[in-house]
Amino acid sequence: MSNMIKTEHLRYAYQIGTQEKVKFVLDDIDLSISPGEFVAVLGHNGCGKSTLAKHFNALLLPAGGTVYVGGMDTKDEAHYWEFRKNVGMVFQNPDNQIVATVVEEDVAFAPENLGVPSDEIRKRVDEALKTVDMYELRRHAPHLLSGGQKQRVAIAGAIAMEPKCIVFDEPTAMLDPKGRKEVIDTIVKLKEEKHMTVVLITHYMEEAVRADRVVVMDKGKVLRNDVPRNVFSDVKFMKSLGLDVPQVTELCYRLAKDGINIRSDVMTVAECVDELIKLL
């Protein structure tokens, strides 16, 4: 399989009110995501990020163009179950995804509905909870967990379906810094250890830095599609869209503007420290 997900001239529109007017929120999107790749999608609210994500497992179907998942056209109704099995989704609010009163029962919910045998469900649940470091809390009540722990339970539920790809739609938006770190560390672990394809929609640039590739959207179009270093080093471009860059990138950008000879493509604290030491 050369592409896990591929869109060709994808367009999608929402009807405005009761009028016949339509607003295209996706306009001629061409995008390819390879198996095992970690892609971050950035852009303002309303730019089409979440609408794009919902096309990746046929929650939405194109108004124009084509979306392929595992080489199959999402408009082919015969493969709907395959799309949903191959591409899992995790949303902002974990409380909206947790349906059981015990952690391990919640993780087992999706495999049970897929008709997976009991022994296999037990194996999948245990493995998924261990992957997200929640195995020790498997018999706890989800409502007693922290936000980050709840989100990791939601991720375990997606993993238990054994998808080839998981799409995360702003999974850390409702979490504190500790919870955000727990969730992003889990997402990176899925990519590095499970070789899973990951699509992350986020407003946090420090999270996007950890991706293999960054896609920047605005007004329904893809404006940039490149490695994080190339995207974030173009600070003027990001600011022109009203988007941030990582804090250390912003610091080095301001120092360079003041005439200090420092790299403009710094993305991590360690890189920033190294550059500052050279100046001392």
pTM of the model: 0.89
Output the DSSP codes for 198-249: EEEE-S-HHHHTTSSEEEEEETTEEEEEE-HHHHHT-HHHHHHTT----HHH
Residue 221 pLDDT greater than 90, yes or no:
yes
Strands (E), 83-164: 87-90
Once rounded to an integer, what is the mean pLDDT over residues 76-82?
A: 85
Distance of CA 15 to the CA centre of its chain: 26
233 phi and psi angles, rounded to 5 deg: -70, -15
Output the DSSP codes for 174-207: TS-HHHHHHHHHHHHHHHHHH--EEEEE-S-HHH
User: Going by C-beta distance under 8 Å and a sequence separation of 6 or more, which residues neighbour residue 157?
Assistant: 97, 98, 106, 107, 109, 110, 128
Once rounded to an integer, what is the mean pLDDT over residues 44-59?
A: 90
Once rounded to an integer, what is the mean pLDDT over residues 25-45?
A: 94
111 phi and psi angles, rounded to 5 deg: -60, -35
Once rounded to an integer, what is the mean pLDDT over residues 198-205?
A: 93
Give the DSSP H/E element, type plus range, for residue 130.
Answer: helix 118-131
Which SS3 state, helix, strand or coil, does residue 44 take? coil
Sketch out the chain's domains with CATH numbers.
5-227 (3.40.50.300)
Beta carbons of 70 and 33 less than 8 angstroms apart: no
Write down the pLDDT at residue 19: 59
Write down the pLDDT at residue 260: 87
Of 58, 127, 123, nearest in space to 86 by CA = 58
User: What tens digit of pLDDT does each residue of 154-189 get?
Assistant: 999 999 998 999 999 999 888 888 888 988 999 999
Amino acid occupying residue 74: T
Write down the pLDDT at residue 222: 95
Q: How far apart are CA 157 and CA 162, in angstroms?
A: 9
Once rounded to an integer, what is the mean pLDDT over residues 27-33?
A: 94
Write down the pLDDT at residue 259: 87
